[in-house]
Amino acid sequence: TIYLFIITMSSKTIQIIGSLNIDLITRTPRHPNPGETLTATSFNYGPGGKGANQAVACARLSRTKNQQQQPAPTTSSLTSNSNSNITIKMTGAVGSDFFGTYLLDSLKSNSVDITSISQKPDTKTGTAVIIVEESSGENRILITPGANGSVSPESIQPSLKSLPDLIILQLEIPLSTVMAIIELAKDKGVDVLLNPAPAVREVPRAVYSGLKHLIMNESEAAILSSSLSNEAPISDEKRKMGKGDGVFATDPNDNMQDLCTRFHTLGVTNVIITLGAKG
């Protein structure tokens, strides 16, 4: 799920720091059993990675329909968001292979600034092997981080010399890098939107203090909140904060309101828990 917080003033920058993967998608009538070979229905590949997906969504949502109808930038243009007064900048790493070039071209065609994406020699681009079972719609995914694993605090420092207005992060690059970026953003007064996916229990409590936006689904919220089990129970006063105070939950039966309030007490300004088919 992709979100865009609209910035109304001119000449603003949203910087996404995160993963770039190539998705290798096979559709099959059913998942094979151990040792079994099946004939698949179809195979396809395309650009992916949570970071790259968010960058493309932000670029599209930051332009009007008329701007989107204008010709896409040429492949020789690296800073490509000329059709909008909001620059969408992607920071990360790909390999020096066909998939890496393919991802860069895809981002450029969607008006994403790719000047802070490094193409690593002798490194493979990150991949996600996705097997979709057509009978149930369930999928199984194997992720190989590849160049995403090389994204370190030191490697992203040059891209942050000119600070953006909003930084968007996920957890498909090393957690230590994500933590360092959040601390730097807090120190410099830059808002951060954290989508903690895939969720891990190792996210320290200090991350939530001063965090502007936290967006996650139900399972991610459950995993993160399980690491907060030693927190004090939520008071009635804090629970009341959930109404009109940056908390968005639509199904009270799922106890999402209490989860949102718990993250508020840790210092998050806006908490959103998406509920899949329930809203």
The bridge status of strand 139-144 relative to strand 166-169 is unpaired
Residues 99, 252: Cα–Cα separation, whole Å? 44
Nearest to 112 by CA among 59, 70, 164, 49: 59
Percent of the chain with pLDDT over 70: 78
Residue 251 in this model has a pLDDT that exceeds 70: no
Percent of the chain with pLDDT over 90: 64
Confidence at residue 240, expressed as pLDDT on a 0 to 100 scale: 44
Residue 208 in this model has a pLDDT that exceeds 70: yes
Confidence at residue 193, expressed as pLDDT on a 0 to 100 scale: 98
261 or 116: which leads in pLDDT: 116
Which range among 140-154, 179-193, 242-256 shows the weakest confidence by mean pLDDT? 242-256
Residues 100, 164: Cα–Cα separation, whole Å? 25
Residue whose tokens read 């930051």: 62
Confidence at residue 143, expressed as pLDDT on a 0 to 100 scale: 93
Residues 272, 213 contacting (CB under 8 angstroms) = yes
Cβ atoms within 10 A of the Cβ of 40, count?
14
Residue 1 in this model has a pLDDT that exceeds 80: no
* Tens-place pLDDT, residues 27-84: 999 999 999 999 999 999 999 999 999 999 999 998 766 665 554 454 444 555 556 6
Does the bond joining 233 to the residue before it have cis omega, within 30 degrees of 0? no
Residue 106, CB half-sphere, CA atoms under 13 Å: how many? 20
Confidence at residue 223, expressed as pLDDT on a 0 to 100 scale: 87
Residue 241 confidence class, pLDDT cut points 50, 70, 90: very low
Residue 229 confidence class, pLDDT cut points 50, 70, 90: low
Task: Find the farthest-apart pair of alpha carbons in the chain and give their distance in angstroms, rounded.
Answer: 58
